[in-house]
Structure 1
Amino acid sequence: MSHTSTNDKKLLARVKRLKGQLEAVERGLENKAPCGEILNLVASVRGAVNGLTAELIEDHIREHVSNPETDSDLARAQGAADLIQVVRTYLK
């Protein structure tokens, strides 16, 4: 079973929020909303996509590379923890 299957409710909730945000952008464009408003909506979408991406990458690292909480190889566990932190920081 894929790790995305175990977190599917949480991930699907994120995707549904993204869908709603994209629909807000679409409505704004259709209603000729001010460009500043559209830019703010698009920035929100970008942030949501980055959050989803970070979560998927972190889950992938924990499942397929090393889980820092359970890996008996301390160097590998620390490397995975460092990588997860970099991903979180980079995609913030």
Structure 2
Amino acid sequence: MMAQLQKSAQSQLKQYLGENLDTPTHKESTAQPFPHREPIKHLLIGSPKAVSSTIHYLQVIGYASVGDWSPLLPTANPGEVMSILSRQILTQ
């Protein structure tokens, strides 16, 4: 069951990011001939353990490699860190 969820999540992520797209259907090909990409930034804020765990989970489901994230940076709150990921996503 977990493998099915991961495969479904990976499929949705690839579609979201515009990666590994199959040949578009007729309806899709007439909608917009040139898909547009826009930048998006993800910001994780929390304890070092929570942020690291989330980064590793996002790698497991195929969204982003651990190395794509910024190093853990301290915030103004004690015991809290942040990390950022910049991506280009497919928009229509």
More strand as a share of residues: 2
RCO higher in structure (CA 8 A, sep ≥6):
2
More helix by share: 1
Same structural fold, with TM-score higher than 0.5 when normalized by the shorter chain: no
Range of TM-score over shorter length: under 0.3
**Structure possessing the higher radius of gyration over alpha carbons:** 1
Scaled by the length of structure 2, the TM-score of the pair is 0.27
